[in-house]
Structure formats: C-alpha cells, structure tokens
C-alpha cells in the first residue's frame, strides 16, 4: 500500500473516530440532561426564569419607584443617590479600622479630647449633611412593596445596580445610630435601626445571591446597633418588641434556599454554560502560561455539546441535593455540603475540563452555607437577647434560662441553625450574658463569641452575642 493511501486511510479512521466520539458524547449528555430535568419535574421544581421574576407592583406602592431611586436608575452615579454613595465610600475609607467613636471623632477633629458622648455628637455633626437623602429613603421605605427595575432577560449576568447605593445608605445609618446611642439619643437610634431592618427587607428582593449578600451586610449592621443598645440598657420594652418582630421575619436559611433556586434558573437559562463566557484571559503570547490558557480556551470552545449538557445536568442535580438538604431549616455541615457540591473527595482534572461550570458554581457552597449559618445564629441570638432584656425590665433580674422567656417574650427558645438544638445562654451575676450556638466546629466552647462590634465574629469558636453590663 502506498504511503499516501495509508495516510489517507489513517486520516479517514481518525475523522470517523472523532465523529463517533462526538456522536456518542452528545447522545449520552442529552440523556443525562433529560433525566435530570425529569427528576426536577417529578419534584415540581422549576428552572424557568419566568417563575422567579417578582410580579408587577403599582408605582405608588413600589419602593423602587420613589423619586430618589428613579433618579439613580436614570442618572446613575450623577444622581443625588449616586453622589451620596461616593461620599459614603470616602467615609468608609476614613473610618477604616476604627471601631471606637472617640477615634472616629479624632478623624474629624484631631484636637478632640472628650468622652464617648461628646465623640458621638461630633460624629453626628459630621454626618448631618446626609440627613436629607436618608430621610427621603426613609419615606420611600414606607411603601409596602418593592420591585427593582432590573433586566431579567440578561439572567445570570444581570447587574443589580441598586445594591451599592442601598448599602451606602445602610452604612450611613449604622454609623449614625451608634453615634446617637453614645450621644444619648436612643429614640433616634431606634428609628434608624428600624429603617436598617426595613432596608434589608427591600434589598433582599429579588432573591439573587448578590442581593442576599448585601441584605446580610445590612442586617449585621442592625444587629451591631441593637447589641450596643442592649449593653447600654437604653431600649424600652416597646422598642425591644419591635426589634423581635422584625428579626423573627428574617429566616436566612429559607431565603438562601430561594436564592439557590433562582440562581439555578439564571445559570441554566443565562450565559453561564455558553463557552464564550468561559474563556481564560490571555496575556503575552510568549509565556508558557498563556499557551496553557490558549489550549484550555480551544478545548472549551470545541468541547462536545454532550459535555455542556452533562455539565448542566450535574449542576441541576447537585443544586437539588443541596436545596433538599437545607430545606428542613437546619444546616448540614460544610463537609456534607462539600460532598454534595463535589461527590468525590477530589475532583479530577478530567471532570474539571469536561464539566467546568458545575464545578465552579458549586465550589464555593461550603463557605456560603457556613456564612448563612453564622448570620442566622447571630439573628436568633440577637432576638433572644432582646427577649432577655424585656424579661429583665419586667422582673428586675435576668432569667435563669431561656425557657423562662416562653411564652411571654418568645414563642419558643431559638434554635442553633447548625444543630437544631436550643441556643446556649450563660448569665453572670453583674448582669452580663452571652447567647450563642456552637459555631463551625460544632463544639460548645463555653460561649467564646465576639460581639457584633468586633472585626470578624465568624472566626470565633462559638457564634452569638455578648451583652456586657458593668
């Protein structure tokens, strides 16, 4: 046989082999996706974006249609709210690393030498120019519903542009409320804290991960103010009851599961599985790293359709397992979440290459679930602390156990989201107390918690709140 004929035969064999490989891969991938969709349909789970888009709201009932927000959506950073957000960014940079009001006051007046109350007044004076914007946002929040004008046709790449200015308002409110408590204006601090809680509720719609994360930041700011007021003993029974009602409505686990469903739909119907959104950035063509990225990009752009469908199927099923694991209201451990996100202890390079999106979208889930558990533990502990303070106001002493709060101040003892067991409570003779859950190590370390004022309370052994007295 001639050499040319042999080469032609080998070439034909190679083409047929590649065609058969693509045909078999596409067939098997399509079957896996069909089976995954059938499983979700049997469970009555939807991946249609239309099922998650918030319903229309009348303009006069919609927070997002208030003038202060309308201006932002039409003029962006040049609007009043956009310029306000920039000023708050500068404020955050000024306050970076400073938790003490006295140190913050010295940022404005280097010669300041007063006590905390005087420092609070200095901070309030500095923040006073922001009052008109804050009051206009407060008026907008009186509307009963919210539907932000987002372009849902963009699905997963939709920009929730409203979250940055809303977060800026929350930062300003948190700083102002803490200064008001120090300066002796607890009634004003209460109003600002209730506004923070309302702002968190408005920010959480729609139920995307981005909105959910910003909502958590706002709720952390509100918890910090509530805890500071508890330590000062300035909240009235009526104010504490109002906090308890607002915190009761914050079911972070349920909200997170709703976010997972919406994000799953956005990932499936958006561009997440489109190869053009998966390209690795290239640098100088002369480097080995760049050639590696180029090769990976070629693989991504030419991979069989069956791999893409298998990628989608794995994402659907692993997300469903996670949703079902979290659906009972109690967290699974980060280890179990990791096993759900990636069935094997270590994902092979082959799996990462053939199903990269499901791996990337789920690789951060253990940390996300841990964060959800922490936020829910903090909120439940804060709600229980408000009830303890109401008991103290009524009985002139602390309760001996959290069961003493039921049913007058709590319908039931709040539970640790990680274990489902009641939260721990430890009072001290001088009037201080700590309420906490076991934390990520799922071990009772005796109430070793940071207060919400500290830098990173999630890193502490136990999660909860410490109310200091004396």
Rounded mean pLDDT of 36-51? 91
Query: What's the confidence (pLDDT) of residue 447?
Result: 80
Selection from 126-130, 268-272, 289-293 with the highest mean pLDDT: 126-130
Give dist(CA 79, CA 74) in Å, integer: 8
133-161 residue pLDDT tens: 999 999 999 999 998 887 776 655 556 78
Residues 95 and 10 in one domain: no
| Parallel/antiparallel/unpaired status of strands 424-427 and 463-467 | unpaired
Confidence grade of residue 209 (pLDDT, cut at 50, 70, 90): confident
Mean pLDDT of 341-351: 57
Give the tokens for residue 149.
Answer: 């004008």
Domain identity same for 89 and 126: yes
Which pLDDT tens digit goes with each residue over 315-332? 898 889 888 888 755 566
pLDDT at res. 300? 60
* Residue 64 and residue 118 in one domain: yes
* Other beta carbons less than 10 A from residue 103's beta carbon: 13
Final residue before a domain boundary, out of 347, 363, 379 = 363
Residues 334, 374 within the same domain: no
Average confidence score pLDDT of the chain: 83
Give the residue numbers spanning the domain of 182.
Answer: 59-250
357 part of a folded domain? yes
Place of tokens 């007046």: 109
Task: Write out the DSSP string of 260-303.
Answer: HHHHHHHHHHSSTTSGGGSPPPP--TTSHHHHHHHHHHHHHHHS
What is the predicted pLDDT for the residue at 281? Answer: 43
pLDDT tens across 158-189, in order? 567 888 889 999 999 999 999 999 999 999 99
Which of 334, 363, 392 is where one domain is finished? 363
Q: Are residues 379 and 234 in the same domain?
A: no
DSSP calls for 188-242: HHHHHHHHHHHHHHHHT-S--HHHHHHHHHHHHHHHHHHHHHHHHT---HHHHHH
Burial of 151 (0-12, 13-18, 19+ CB in 10 A): exposed
Same domain, 199 and 184: yes
Confidence of residue 363 (pLDDT cuts 50, 70, 90): confident
Domain boundary among 332, 363, 394: 363
**pLDDT tens-digit profile of 61-85?**
999 999 999 999 888 889 999 999 9
User: Is residue 159 domain-resident?
Assistant: yes
Average pLDDT over residues 22-31: 88
CA atoms within 13 A on the CB side of 231: 18
- CA–chain centroid gap for 366, Å, is 13
Question: Is 195 inside any structural domain?
Answer: yes
Number of domains in the chain: 3
Give the three-state DSSP class for 145: strand
Same domain for 285 and 375, yes or no, is no
**Within its chain, how far is the Cα of 61 from the centroid?**
26
If asked whether residues 33 and 74 sit together in one domain, one would say: no
Using CA atoms, how far residue 274 sits from 30, 260, 299, 319, in Å, is: 16, 20, 13, 19
Distance CA 282, CA 285 (A): 8
Residues 95 and 175 both lie in one domain? yes
54 in a structural domain: no
351 in the same domain as 379:
no
- Residue 220 and residue 159 in one domain: yes
Residue 255, in any domain of the structure: no
* 159 lies in the same domain as 300: no
pTM for this entry: 0.86
């Amino acid at each position: 046989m001639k050499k040319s004929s042999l080469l032609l035969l080998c070439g034909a064999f190679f083409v047929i082999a590649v065609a058969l490989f693509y045909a078999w891969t596409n067939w098997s991938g399509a079957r896996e996706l069909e089976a995954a969709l059938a499983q979700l349909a049997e469970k009555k789970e939807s991946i249609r974006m239309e099922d998650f888009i918030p319903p229309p709201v009348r303009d006069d009932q919609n927070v997002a249609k208030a003038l202060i927000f309308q201006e932002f959506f039409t003029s962006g950073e040049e609007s009043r709210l956009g310029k306000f957000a920039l000023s708050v960014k500068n404020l955050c940079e000024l306050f970076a690393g400073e938790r003490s009001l006295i140190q913050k006051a010295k940022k404005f007046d280097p010669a300041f030498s007063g006590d905390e109350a005087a420092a609070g007044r200095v901070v309030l004076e500095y923040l006073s120019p922001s009052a008109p914007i804050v009051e206009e946002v407060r008026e907008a929040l009186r509307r009963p519903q919210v539907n932000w004008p987002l372009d849902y046709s963009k699905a997963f790449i939709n920009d929730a542009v409203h979250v940055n200015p809303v977060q800026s308002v929350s930062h300003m409110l948190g700083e102002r409320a803490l200064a008001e408590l120090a300066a002796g204006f607890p009634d004003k601090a209460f109003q600002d804290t209730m506004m923070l809680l309302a702002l968190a509720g408005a920010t959480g719609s729609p139920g995307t991960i981005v909105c959910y994360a910003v909502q958590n930041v706002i709720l952390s700011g509100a918890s910090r103010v509530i805890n500071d007021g508890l330590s000062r003993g300035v909240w009235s029974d009526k104010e504490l009851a109002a906090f308890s009602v607002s915190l009761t409505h914050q079911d972070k686990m349920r909200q997170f599961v709703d976010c997972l469903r919406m994000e799953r739909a956005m990932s499936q119907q958006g561009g997440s599985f489109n190869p053009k959104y998966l390209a690795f950035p290239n640098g100088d063509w002369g480097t080995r790293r760049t050639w590696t990225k180029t090769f990976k990009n070629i693989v991504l752009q030419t991979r069989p359709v069956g791999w893409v469908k298998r990628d989608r199927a794995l994402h659907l099923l692993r997300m469903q397992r996670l949703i079902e694991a979290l659906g009972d209201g109690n967290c699974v451990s980060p280890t179990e979440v990791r096993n759900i996100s990636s069935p094997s202890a270590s994902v092979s390079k082959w799996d990462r290459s053939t199903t990269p999106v499901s791996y990337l979208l789920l690789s951060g889930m253990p940390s996300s679930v841990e964060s959800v558990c922490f936020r829910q533990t903090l909120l439940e502990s804060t709600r229980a602390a408000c009830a303890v303070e109401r008991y103290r106001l009524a009985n002139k002493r602390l309760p001996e156990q959290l069961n003493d709060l039921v049913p007058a101040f709590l319908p039931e003892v709040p539970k640790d989201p990680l274990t489902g067991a009641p939260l721990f409570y430890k009072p001290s003779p001088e009037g201080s107390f700590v309420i906490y859950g076991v934390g990520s190590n799922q071990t009772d370390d005796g109430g070793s918690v940071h207060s919400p004022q500290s830098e990173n309370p999630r890193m502490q052994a136990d999660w909860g709140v410490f109310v200091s007295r004396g």
